[in-house]
Structure 1
């Protein structure tokens, strides 16, 4: 998989993999922790969930600026990783007050802001801007993200539900499964930090505080061309807000649907499997790992035929598929999910995760590559932060809209998400010509 790529890609792959393990271990239990430990209702937990995710993805804008102007990418990432480790360790403290819980979330927000955008910039900086390997590099990097995301719900479910029983039986000690899972997230961040520093010589050349010249493909970028590229980025940022608003219902509405509407078990080939609600979050990264070769192979086939869609067109396809994914949830709700009596087949929810994953593969890794290619070099960290700001707004809206999950029939709630995704697809198609012009490889 890494053949032909710089060794630094492997270092960044595993650094990001363990960081995402920590993030998604915490996220898998976040809503359930607020519900079962603090006893918060959907309205309050939705607000906290949305605000946390909004700030987690907004602060990379600041972290990117700090790296561009002052510290460089490696130092900024190191500081962010250390702060993240402390934040997860704080969540692992037993019996926290609400204020202590909020403080731990603030620490996580700061650490993530310094870490997240800058490691994505480092990946792009390993390659020349016109390198044919850059898109593939981001696909590989995205697989690292999702290996961590795949392992996280498995670890979270085991540590929450099984590990306390084993510890009680073996050692006679009562422990809280939530705290064990948050402690595992802190260990994941420690591994991320160690890998990033032990093998730093493989990516040091890509750690540039400033780019000496604002050029692309060996030619100078005029102010007009820079404005055109920034405008194209802003258009894409606006459109993907609605993807993240829908996608991040995986930790809120889709988790609540799994907890309240889906049957607790499924029979496959005569075997009955029990699926805890938090474990459904494993399907998205699992499908990422399975479907990435399919999507990459399909677009490679189209490229050989001269019919591969442009990067903005792929983002539009991702929005279209997201709309269809949430239409499945509309059908699931009408088939019994609206009743909240755990009567719906798990296959409805699993099917939704599969379709939305196809959409994600057309949108998210291509978005990272798009920013790396199009962003003016002097503000690359800032613009990568802008991608995460779009994610932040979508995440806040995920929680804001999530407050209506129990106020409306679930079918109506999921229909809203589907319609917004289809509208976003339409916006991409309407602006596709201008977006393609801004992302042309050669500068006139």
Structure 2
């Protein structure tokens, strides 16, 4: 029985990091729940333009993370950078709440949010990795529970914020995100003594005034540039390609400099990151094509209660909250006994579950009623499979980096892990836009249903093929890690 509760026996700093991440994600996912619909209904964008803009914004969000990891590791300190990022994001949400119909102000707000998220995102997970010694068998369980904090925050915001926006207006909905950041920062300052002895090397020395000034000026410049390039999506994609290529080249350089087992492990990290790009393209359909499918073709009734169809997105974090402690217990149990699936096999199984999450939707379309509406139960099932896949890939991605990458590179490589999400976001925006192009001239649920059905079939079959390739290569990759 005691083994069942080992997953909860984490060091005290874990719980501080857990709640900081929870409230920061409450803010971000509140924005995500509303953004694509806000762009269409408030700013008057076409669906495909909204999806592509959302993808470009998401790319900026994740694209800055490797920079934030570098700043935390080498310049400003992990803890200082984390707090600074949260404050910049809070400013972005406040500006978003005041933007109204002004597209230029919206882009300024999104630029601040992207830069703030980049500064914040890699550093809590980097700080968490420093709580554990090499070989500590609690690590997989800790990162799974940490991932659960993300989904508690997102579940609360994806459930509540659409209703706040519906009844009190868009600005109040975005203000709720700002309040989430305020709670996160306040939580840190009340309990920061728990992490007094943890952090990167710059956390334990004064920061020169020159460094502070240059960093603050760089943040202001980055926010302005981000707002500007959102006006020019092609330029945004080019800049993302340059940042991604630069980070990839730096990663490859580190692989070449390494040797022996360290090099082999880093090669596996690179391969798994490339596989994860496919997963994140699938995952980013949730706030775009899946969201609009729910609005257009899903009966918004669960257990006899009519809901706002936007809140179907909250099914993803709901299932993750249910499954996270179960899977953390499984990891703890199997790894204590020296068994359990390897990291490459977990990734492969995650992709398989993800493909199933899309392949059930064409079956749902086949069972739709005469009005072209699908039962909400199919969305519950789809999001269940997606959540299991997410836990096996995205939920363990940070643990994979912590296990296989030298500690000196944790922040930087964790940033590159998030950069995979950035590249995938751009692809996902264009992929989701295919559905919008098809349904622009369609007006009824009966007309739009076959468009979505064919799209989800194609997505499911493609990811199924990728999962088969991953399953076939899992043993070989595991040998590279263990030999």
**Partners of 1:14 and 1:144 within 8 A in 2:** yes
Aligned counterpart, 2:363: 331
Aligned counterpart, 1:200: 192
The normalised TM-score by structure 2 is: 0.81
User: CA offset at residue 210 of structure 1?
Assistant: 7.4
After superposition, the Cα gap between the structure-2 partners of 1:362 and 1:201, relative to the gap in structure 1 and judged at 3 Å, is same
**Partners of 1:210 and 1:378 within 8 A in 2:** no
1:83 aligns with 2:115: no
Distance across 1 between alignment mates of 2:385 and 2:400 = 23
Aligned counterpart, 2:162: 157
**Partners of 1:16 and 1:192 within 8 A in 2:** yes
1:308 aligns with 2:340: yes
**Partners of 1:228 and 1:438 within 8 A in 2:** yes
Distance across 2 between alignment mates of 1:367 and 1:117 = 12
User: CA offset at residue 298 of structure 1?
Assistant: 4.1
Aligned counterpart, 2:327: 295
Aligned counterpart, 2:475: 433
1:225 aligns with 2:261: yes
**Partners of 1:300 and 1:308 within 8 A in 2:** no
Q: Secondary structure at the match of 1:151?
A: helix
Q: Secondary structure at the match of 1:403?
A: helix
Gapped regions of structure 2 (runs ≥ 5): 204-256, 439-450
**Partners of 1:18 and 1:148 within 8 A in 2:** yes
1:46 aligns with 2:38: no
Distance across 1 between alignment mates of 2:413 and 2:481 = 15
Aligned counterpart, 1:173: none
The normalised TM-score by structure 1 is: 0.88
User: CA offset at residue 384 of structure 1?
Assistant: 0.3
Stretch of structure 1 that moved more, 402-411 or 124-133: 402-411
Distance across 1 between alignment mates of 2:289 and 2:258 = 46
**Partners of 1:263 and 1:342 within 8 A in 2:** no
Aligned counterpart, 2:209: none
1:239 aligns with 2:244: no
Q: Secondary structure at the match of 1:53?
A: helix
Aligned counterpart, 1:218: none
For the aligned residues, what is the CA RMSD?
A: 2.1
Distance across 2 between alignment mates of 1:197 and 1:419 = 48
Aligned counterpart, 2:28: 23
- Cα deviation, 1:122-151, whole Å, max 9, x if unaligned, reads 111111121111111111211111110110
Structure with bigger helix share is: 2
Distance across 1 between alignment mates of 2:76 and 2:463 = 38
Aligned counterpart, 2:460: 418
User: CA offset at residue 83 of structure 1?
Assistant: 0.2
Distance across 2 between alignment mates of 1:3 and 1:293 = 9
Q: Secondary structure at the match of 1:47?
A: helix
Q: Aligned pair count?
A: 413
User: CA offset at residue 305 of structure 1?
Assistant: 6.6
- Cα deviation, 1:191-241, whole Å, max 9, x if unaligned, reads 111112221121232202379xxxxxxxxx953433322211110110011
- Cα deviation, 1:173-195, whole Å, max 9, x if unaligned, reads xxxx2111100100100111111
Aligned counterpart, 1:62: 67
1:93 aligns with 2:98: yes
Distance across 1 between alignment mates of 2:73 and 2:480 = 23
Distance across 2 between alignment mates of 1:303 and 1:376 = 21
1:145 aligns with 2:150: yes
Distance across 2 between alignment mates of 1:285 and 1:222 = 38
Q: Secondary structure at the match of 2:429?
A: helix
Gapped regions of structure 1 (runs ≥ 5): 165-176, 212-220
